[in-house]
Amino acid sequence: MTTYQKPIEWIANPRAREIANSSAVESVFPAGVFEQARSFHRQIPGYRPSPLRNLSSLASMLSVGGIWVKDESVRLNLNSFKVLGGSFAIYQFIRAKLGLTDENLTYDELVSEATKAKVGEITFATATDGNHGRGVAWGASKLNCKAVIYVHKDTSVARIRAIEAYGAEVRVVDGNYDDAVRQATVDADANGWQVISDTSWDGYTDIPSWVMQGYTTMLTEAQEQLAGTGIVKPTHVFVQAGVGALAAATTGFYSSRFGADRPTTIVVEPAEAQCLLHSAQIGDGKPHDVHGELQTIMAGLACGEPSPIAWDVLWDTVDAFVACPDYVAAKGMRVYGVPLHGDPFIVSGESGAVTLGALMFTADYAEFHDLKEHIGLGPDSQILLINSEGNTDPEYFRRVVWEGANSSPEEYRWSPEVEVLD
């Protein structure tokens, strides 16, 4: 009999509930930064809040109060939330270069010829699995600047072409994402380029902090949208993680806003690239790497080295770290794409859908009762998910949705007889 990876591996982080005010959160997310990020993004031509989708029928099926999906697949027609971080980091970098410590630039001033004349020629560089590089390329194009984007050898052609569409040069590195990060840094140092990375390292923390701050615009939007339904805040957030920047932005936002009364947070990453779960298992408060090919369909999460500043935030604020095999993400993609009657259709890529899959396995299967109990998932739960990307790799998307690639093992396939826990 074939043995399959279980859909969920997890570890609790009870220390997070003992921390009402995290110094790591206060360092990365100072007072006023959420409003500053939102103010900047609202000036971008074409900006509008991404929709918050209500999966009420699925919530009823899973016996929870509500499932709310922040759908970033339509963000500025870029198919991903990543542009929020890249654009805000570039904005903050230009402000710093101009010495504007106490005043903001408008978007029009940022992209003006007068600003370009003051800052001179700049080439931006970064490593990416696709979406972050596309966001940086988009930002560079708005400033009429050059961009050199590094991708690893398994990056799909569709993701490369999407980056090149904004005029960036794409360089393929013979290695994984973490190798691409190192190569981008080496070449940037040699050529005098400016790295705009969503991960941090010794001596490089300002820009990754700005990237995370930029991501919080979608959470500010989500709070406004939830308030319109009478919900003060979600009770639970399931958020995906690669290096941890999106997850830290999410937990940092809610910790800043609500302190000890923040939502219960579950961070989900690929089983083949579980650097955050691995770090939590070691439990010494430090980030730890995992090595290897990091082969997973969740390309945007295929990272073996946590961002240290993101990890510091997560260690203080995450209630459970979860890792899932690829079939969990594939299940999420199919459920989004073939919704229950009354629920909206959502296009979600592999990295965008894993949190829905993780939620369903947690709620549906008795063997994960301990996780469900630890996070307090029940009929009053209002759960926020982030669909972080749309269909960014059309060929593989069709393989999953049309052909059933990465199907769930027989023992974990849905049937009416599956025990749903109350």
C-alpha 389: how far from chain center:
9
Query: Residue 420: pLDDT above 70?
Result: no
Locate 36 and state its tokens.
């500053």
Mean per-residue pLDDT of the chain: 95
User: Looking at residue 422, what is its pLDDT?
Assistant: 45
47-81 pLDDT tens trace: 999 999 999 999 999 999 999 999 999 999 999 99
The dihedral region occupied by 406, where left means phi > 0, alpha psi between -120 and 50, and beta the remainder, is: left
User: Looking at residue 2, what is its pLDDT?
Assistant: 39
User: Looking at residue 103, what is its pLDDT?
Assistant: 84
Query: Residue 1: pLDDT above 50?
Result: no
Q: Which residue spans within 188-248 are E strands per DSSP?
A: 194-195, 236-240
Active site residue 380: no
Taking the C-alpha atoms of residue 58 and residue 5, their distance in angstroms, rounded to an integer, is 25
Taking the C-alpha atoms of residue 161 and residue 147, their distance in angstroms, rounded to an integer, is 14
Of 70, 82, 326, 393, the catalytic one is 82
Residue length of the chain? 422
Taking the C-alpha atoms of residue 243 and residue 252, their distance in angstroms, rounded to an integer, is 15
317-335 pLDDT tens trace: 999 999 999 999 999 999 9
Query: Tokens 């940037």 belong to which residue?
Result: 188
Active site residue 108: no
Claim: this prediction has a pTM higher than 0.85: yes
User: Looking at residue 318, what is its pLDDT?
Assistant: 98
Nearest 10 degrees: Cα torsion 324, 328, 333, 334? 180
C-alpha 40: how far from chain center:
20
Coil, strand, or helix at residue 268?
strand
Q: Average pLDDT for residues 274-296, to the nearest whole number?
A: 96
pLDDT band at 414 (very low <50, low <70, confident <90, very high): confident
Taking the C-alpha atoms of residue 302 and residue 281, their distance in angstroms, rounded to an integer, is 19
List, in order of start, the domains of the chain with CATH numbers. 9-80+206-412 (3.40.50.1100), 82-195 (3.40.50.1100)
Which residues 6+ apart lie within 8 Å of 91 measured at CB? 40, 105, 110, 210
Of 6, 70, 71, 129, the catalytic one is 129
